[in-house]
Amino acid sequence: MTDAQPDAGRDQVVMLSGGVGGAKLALGLSRVMKPDRLVIVANTSDDFTCLGLHVSPDIDTVVYTLAGLADPERGWGRAEETWNFIGAISDLGGEDWFRLGDRDLAMHVTRTRRLAEGASLTEVTAQLARALDVGVSILPMTDQSVATVVETARGDLAFQHYFVRERCEPEVTGFRFAGISDARINPVLERVLGSGRVAGVIIGPSNPYVSIDPILGIPGMRTALERAGCRVLAVSPIVGGTAIKGPAAKMMRELGVPVTATGIARHYGQLADILVIDHADRDETDAIRDLGQEVLCTATVMHTLDDREQLARDCLRALGLAIP
Amino acid sequence: MTDAQPDAGRDQVVMLSGGVGGAKLALGLSRVMKPDRLVIVANTSDDFTCLGLHVSPDIDTVVYTLAGLADPERGWGRAEETWNFIGAISDLGGEDWFRLGDRDLAMHVTRTRRLAEGASLTEVTAQLARALDVGVSILPMTDQSVATVVETARGDLAFQHYFVRERCEPEVTGFRFAGISDARINPVLERVLGSGRVAGVIIGPSNPYVSIDPILGIPGMRTALERAGCRVLAVSPIVGGTAIKGPAAKMMRELGVPVTATGIARHYGQLADILVIDHADRDETDAIRDLGQEVLCTATVMHTLDDREQLARDCLRALGLAIP
């Protein structure tokens, strides 16, 4: 995107993230660089109102992961969770397809109350992260409401209806983001990107369609990223023809896009200066270079904490940043 | 209040209730008469907003008790409750002095959502009770907001601040009910009382100051009770110079009122045709009769389910009603 080289005054890293995959890399980054120099931009287009409560799944996955509270097996929600609230909702005949855990509920109740009091989602997110001793700056992509609509063969579905209730089964024909034309880039993020202090932007190994595209689609976001004057690195969420987690591969297939790292490279196009792909996809290196992107071929599947730190170091090095 | 005798067309019983004591008698009544002829009017002046959620403690105590879900030891909330939500709220630095249980939370979240959607508290309460298979009609005293303010030597306190946070410790100098002049009697209750079908009104063994007075203070309530054309029976919450539960005795003492069944008789005055007192207070029978009230001396302390049914039968008989 640009050839600007990092200098001493550039010490911040901005990472765009959806849920689990992005959160894992965010955790790795937070452990190999100064956490207060790291800014995570979380997708909020899968936010929704559940039982009257404002739920921000991607923000919470990032917060819980960075706070050490995320459930390691389930991939969402909190460790050592209990489910008595949602069981009681079932007993009352309420909607129970979105499994709100008892501890998790504290986030949604607090967020809902603070938003009703007039706080912005940025302020609430900062408050929640601070309360859980998270030193990384976690920013919602926007303070306005944006809602992913999944266009499917069975008709339009709100994202969580598609993702949780329908278990990603309906065939996808497209996406749109309701409200996005009225959304404004997060004001804190806009300041960070315009500060001249950003040394690199990382697009996490998140779903390009429903996690990253809504962030990039906020009016002014691409321009702000360009003006940051640093290189953009994207980590492919596709490894060996499949997605590590979630419906990215299924979506690509249904949209007629090759389920390959090259497919991801094409998706991000000129926005990405560097694509990080897994060793399993090394055969695609030349094809991706032909698209004008540098390629870093490394281990991108993050099973352990060491994996996360190692991938984080690889990304920072590829951006030309010193690792402390 | 009136000498009207019950007749065949009069088959409904209306009971005014606060929390635990009233709920126990309501349960007894629901077991010795047809539940669908029983109407419980619950105090709502201790309703409050907790963490942004609409909490109706007295309604919920009545609902839980009639649904068989009340915690038998604690005196509030649900049996087999867990506390992970409020623990997580503490971790977030939130207000945690009002202990919302995980299962209990389902009521507050559902109520808050439905009220925000425009439902009345009457409608929401009916929905919740129906979902829990409660056949008794449970009516909030009003659909408008009324808030008990406890006037104390340390200044005014919102009821739950006095009751829960301050554990009833501040010395009481008086009470007022914010919003009561704008409140309207529950429209369903108004119809019931005007139907000519009410065979008797029972004032439960609840706190006269903070549970029953707010009900009686709703504009038009006393007139509607009079127009019902039936007798009113009150059960004294004071037994042997103390209250079975809660701060009634302490309040009477601080207000300079004798902590006796006679004190209760005086408090209700001409409204009550019959006062039910415990055997422990039989010495007060003549003093109470001198005030113009009939006296039924029986066992009013409800430890067991049998106790509740027995007191319920005693009340119905004193009102001249046949027990099926």
**DSSP codes, B175-202:** EEEETGGG--B-HHHHHHHTTT-EEEEE
The mean pLDDT of B84-106, rounded to a whole number, is 96
Q: How far apart are CA B105 and CA A52, in angstroms?
A: 13
Helix, strand, coil percent content, chain B, rounded in steps of 5? 40, 20, 35
CB of A92 within 8 Å of a chain B CB? The answer is yes
- What digits encode the pLDDT tens for the residues B266-287? 999 999 999 999 999 999 999 9
Nearest by CB: A82 against B82, B92, B116:
B82
Q: What is the pLDDT of residue B2?
A: 46
Q: β-pairing, A12-17 with A198-203?
A: parallel
- Full 3-state SS string of A96-148: CCCCCCCCCHHHHHHHHHHHHCCCCHHHHHHHHHHHCCCCCEEEECECCCCEE
- What digits encode the pLDDT tens for the residues B55-73? 999 999 999 999 999 998 8
CB of A305 within 8 Å of a chain B CB? The answer is no
Measured between beta carbons, the chain A residues lying within 8 angstroms of B92 are 106-107, 110, 128, 131-132
The burial of B304, by beta-carbon neighbours within 10 Å (0-12 exposed, 13-18 middle, 19 or more buried), is given as exposed
Measured between beta carbons, the chain B residues lying within 8 angstroms of A52 are 109, 112-113, 116
Q: What is the CA radius of gyration of chain B?
A: 19
Q: What is the pLDDT of residue B1?
A: 46
Residues in chain A: 324
CA A187 from centroid of its chain's CA atoms: 18
Q: What is the CA radius of gyration of chain A?
A: 19
Residue B3 has pLDDT above 50, yes or no: no
User: Could you tell me the CA-to-CA distances from B34 to A98, B68, B277 in Å, in that order?
Assistant: 39, 17, 25
Q: What is the pLDDT of residue B4?
A: 43
Task: Give me the phi and psi of A14, to 5 degrees please.
Answer: -110, 130
Residue in chain B closest to A93 (alpha carbons) equals B131
CA A103 from centroid of its chain's CA atoms: 23
Nearest by CB: B94 against A94, A102, A110:
A110
Q: What is the pLDDT of residue B75?
A: 81
CA B324 from centroid of its chain's CA atoms: 25
The mean pLDDT of B291-303, rounded to a whole number, is 96
Q: How far apart are CA B170 and CA B160, in angstroms?
A: 13
Q: How far apart are CA A279 and CA B92, in angstroms?
A: 41
Q: β-pairing, B198-203 with B238-239?
A: unpaired
Q: What is the pLDDT of residue A7?
A: 62
- Largest Cα separation within chain A, whole Å, is 60
Tell me the pLDDT band of B8, cut-offs 50, 70 and 90: low
Q: What is the pLDDT of residue B323?
A: 65
Q: CA A54, A55, A59 angle in degrees (round to 5)?
A: 125
Percent of chain B surpassing pLDDT 90: 91
Measured between beta carbons, the chain A residues lying within 8 angstroms of B108 are none
Q: How far apart are CA A196 and CA A20, in angstroms?
A: 29
Q: How far apart are CA B278 and CA B275, in angstroms?
A: 10
CB of B149 within 8 Å of a chain A CB? The answer is no
Average pLDDT, chain B: 95
* Min Cα–Cα distance to chain B from A73, Å: 20
Residue type, A60: D
Best residue of A64, A82, A85 to probe chain B, by most B CBs closer than 10 Å:
A85
Question: What ipTM does this complex have?
Answer: 0.92
Task: Give me the phi and psi of A193, to 5 degrees please.
Answer: -65, -30
- What digits encode the pLDDT tens for the residues B137-183? 999 999 999 999 999 988 999 999 999 999 999 999 999 999 999 99
Q: What is the pLDDT of residue B324?
A: 59
- Regions of chain A with pLDDT less than 50: 1-6
Nearest by CB: B93 against A87, A113, A131:
A131
* Min Cα–Cα distance to chain B from A297, Å: 41
